[in-house]
A and B are shown apart, each in its own frame.
Chain A
Amino acid sequence: MEKALKNVKKNIVRMAFEAQASHVGSALSCADILWAIYTRAANITRRNLKSLDRDKVVLSKGHASAALYAVLAELKLINPKLLDKYYIDGGVLPGHLDYMVSPAIDATAGSLGHGASIGVGMALANPDRKVFVVMGDGETNEGSVWEAALFAGTHNLSNLIFIIDENELMIYGDSKSIMDNTNIAARFHSCRFEAFEVYGHDIETLAKALNKPSMKPKAIIAHTLKGKDVSFMENKAEWHGRKPTREEYLKAVKEIDNA
Chain B
Amino acid sequence: MRDQFIKTLMALANRDKRIWLVAADIGNELLDPFIKRFPERFVNVGIAEQNAVGVCAGLALSGKIPFFYSIAPFVYARPFEFVQVDAAYMELPIKLIGVGAGFGYGSLGATHHAIQDVAVMRALPNMKVFSPGSNEEVEALLRATIKDKMPCYMRLDKGAGFSLPRHSGPRAGIHGYRVKPGMTNVRAGKRAAIIATGNMLRDGIALAEKFGTALYSAHTLKPFDSATILKLAKNKTPIISLEEHSIIGGLATCIAETLAFNGIAAKFLPIAVDDKFSHYVGSEKYIAERMGLGNLEKRVAKFLKDA
Q: Which residues of A contact B (CB under 8 A)?
A: 52-53, 56, 99-100, 106-108, 110-111, 113-114, 116-126, 131, 143-144, 147-148, 150-151, 154
Q: Which residue of A lies closest to B58 (CB)?
A: A121
Interface residues on B, range: 20 to 34
Bound-state CA distance A120–B58 (Å) is 7
Question: B280 within 8 Å of A by Cβ?
Answer: no
Total number of A-B contacts with CB less than 8 angstroms? 96
Given contacts A108-B90, A111-B81, A114-B82, contact A119 B51 (CB under 8 A): no
List of B residues within 8 angstroms of A116 by Cβ:
54
Q: Which residue of B lies closest to A116 (CB)?
A: B54
- Cross-chain contact A119 with B58 (CB below 8 angstroms): yes
- Cross-chain contact B85 with A111 (CB below 8 angstroms): yes
Least CB distance from A119 to B in Å reads 6
- Cross-chain contact A53 with B62 (CB below 8 angstroms): yes
- From the candidates A100, A106, A148, name the one contacting B54 in the complex (CB within 8 A): A148
**Additional A-B contacts beyond A122-B59, A122-B62 (18; CB < 8 A):** A99-B61, A99-B90, A100-B90, A100-B91, A106-B61, A110-B85, A111-B81, A116-B54, A117-B55, A118-B86, A120-B58, A121-B54, A124-B55, A126-B62, A144-B82, A147-B51, A151-B45, A151-B48
Bound-state CA distance A148–B85 (Å) is 17
Question: B46 within 8 Å of A by Cβ?
Answer: yes
Bound-state CA distance A69–B82 (Å) is 24
List of B residues within 8 angstroms of A151 by Cβ:
45-46, 48, 51, 55
- Cross-chain contact A117 with B90 (CB below 8 angstroms): no
Given contacts A117-B53, A125-B59, A126-B62, contact A150 B46 (CB under 8 A): yes
List of A residues within 8 angstroms of B53 by Cβ:
117
Bound-state CA distance A234–B46 (Å) is 41
Q: Which residue of A lies closest to B56 (CB)?
A: A121
Question: B89 within 8 Å of A by Cβ?
Answer: yes
Q: Which of B50, B58, B82, B90 has the most CB of A within 10 A?
A: B58
- Cross-chain contact A114 with B45 (CB below 8 angstroms): no
- Cross-chain contact B59 with A117 (CB below 8 angstroms): no
Q: Which residue of B lies closest to A149 (CB)?
A: B51
Least CB distance from B43 to A in Å reads 6
Given contacts A121-B54, A121-B58, contact A147 B63 (CB under 8 A): no
